[in-house]
């Protein structure tokens, strides 16, 4: 099971979540008093899965039509929003406040995560 | 100026495109036609991400997502990062995406990193009006302008005094 509590230790983390391959929320954490809730995270997870699917198509086509490699399979998607960023890798994600967000640290931590579906 | 991005560890290519998706220039290890394809891909994906972020805001009534400032797609060995009208390819084994994401808007001319440069595609549809709808966003004006955009994506971040 993904260690969502560990993801919440990232600087600026306001939520962490696990999802299945359809984007349905399996588990989540949110900071006390935060704006994000289960319903919002479920939709966010669906959006991330949708964007990964599109990027996967593009990566597949890019590799097939050029000599560039290493893009497929797409493992993660990050939305840098106006105030928040959602970083996903595999079936786990974390939402961070943009101020001081360390995306590399998030990917490093997410890279070691697995989620039970 | 965007050539400076190549000095960052792991950055192997960078491309710049206009608001209408036309390729402006690119640098790095890829041939020119592939730098142009990278720009085309990034422009298309940017629009998709903007649309999805708008809908996310509309459905959740949360303003924290729009307008989006950028996106990252992380592949098995390569990562593609984009902010505004710049996109770059980073080798996962050598690069640090935080450094790249901080440098991208500065290379584009912004005075503050992670400046939200996106444009709301679902402008009137959202029950939560994205800040770009305030009517003063230079990026919105650029989006509708036929002229090439090679300058800054806009003023300083709202969180920057």
CATH of the domain at A61: 3.30.450.30
Residue A81 belongs to some domain of the structure: yes
pLDDT for position B65: 94
- Amino acid B138: pLDDT: 36
Residue A111: its pLDDT value, please?
A: 86
Domain count, chain A: 1
CB atoms within 10 A of CB A65: 10
pTM of the model: 0.81
Q: What is the pLDDT of residues B1-17, one digit of tens each?
A: 889 999 999 999 999 99
Which residue range forms the structural domain that includes residue A13? 4-110
Cβ–Cβ contact A17 with B under 8 A: no
Question: Which residues fall within 8 angstroms of residue B119, CB to CB, at 6 or more apart?
Answer: B50, B67, B132, B137, B139, B140, B143
Q: Is 70 exceeded by the pLDDT of residue B48? A: yes
The beta-carbon neighbor of B52 closest among A51, A65, A73 is A51
User: Which value does ipTM take for this structure?
Assistant: 0.94
Within-domain flag for A96: yes
Inside any domain, residue A101: yes
Residues of B in contact with A54 (CB under 8 A): 45, 48
User: Which of A55, A68, A79 minimises the CB distance to B34?
Assistant: A68
Across the interface, whether the CB atoms of A80 and B62 are under 8 A apart is answered: no
Averaged pLDDT for residues B118-137: 34
What DSSP line would sit under B43-65, residue for residue? HHHHHHHHHHHHHHHHHHT--SS
Task: For chain B, list the domains and their CATH numbers.
Answer: 2-144 (3.30.450.30)
Q: Tokens at residue A28, please?
A: 């989540």
Nearest CA to A3 among A33, A25, A29, A35?
Answer: A29
CA angle B118, A85, B25 (to 5 degrees): 45
The whole-number average pLDDT for the span B89-112 is 85
* The CA-based dihedral angle spanning residues A6, A8, A11, A13, taken in that order and rounded to the nearest 10 degrees: 150
Neighbours of B111 (CB within 10 A): 13
pLDDT in tens, A3-18: 899 999 999 999 999 9
Question: With a CB-CB cutoff of 8 Å, which residues 65-104 of chain A face chain B?
Answer: 65-66, 68-84, 87, 89, 98-99, 101-104
Residue B58 · residue A29 · CB < 8 Å: no
């Amino acid at each position: 099971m993904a260690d969502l509590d560990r993801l919440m230790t990232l600087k600026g983390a306001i939520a962490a979540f696990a999802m299945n391959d359809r984007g349905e929320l399996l588990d989540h954490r949110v900071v006390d008093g935060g704006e994000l809730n289960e319903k919002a995270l479920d939709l966010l997870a669906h959006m991330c899965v949708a964007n990964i699917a599109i990027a996967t198509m593009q990566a597949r086509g890019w590799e097939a039509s050029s000599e560039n490699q290493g893009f497929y399979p797409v493992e993660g998607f990050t939305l840098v929003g106006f105030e928040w960023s959602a970083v996903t890798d595999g079936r786990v994600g974390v939402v961070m406040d943009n101020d001081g967000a360390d995306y590399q640290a998030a990917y490093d931590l997410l890279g070691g995560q697995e989620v039970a579906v | 100026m965007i050539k400076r991005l190549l000095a960052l560890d792991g950055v192997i290519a960078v491309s710049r495109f206009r608001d209408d998706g036309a390729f402006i220039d690119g640098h790095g290890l890829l041939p020119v036609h592939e730098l142009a394809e990278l720009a085309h891909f990034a422009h298309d994906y940017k629009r998709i991400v903007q649309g999805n972020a708008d809908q996310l805001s509309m459905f959740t009534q949360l303003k924290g997502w729009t307008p989006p400032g950028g996106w990252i797609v992380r592949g098995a060995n390569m990562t593609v990062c984009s902010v505004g009208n710049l996109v770059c390819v980073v080798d996962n084994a050598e690069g640090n995406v935080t450094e790249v994401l901080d440098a991208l808007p500065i290379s584009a001319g912004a005075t503050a990193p992670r400046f939200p440069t996106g444009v709301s595609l679902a402008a009137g549809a959202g029950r939560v009006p994205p800040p770009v709808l305030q009517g003063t966003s230079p990026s919105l004006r650029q989006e509708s302008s036929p002229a090439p955009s090679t300058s800054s994506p806009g003023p300083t971040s709202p969180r920057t005094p």
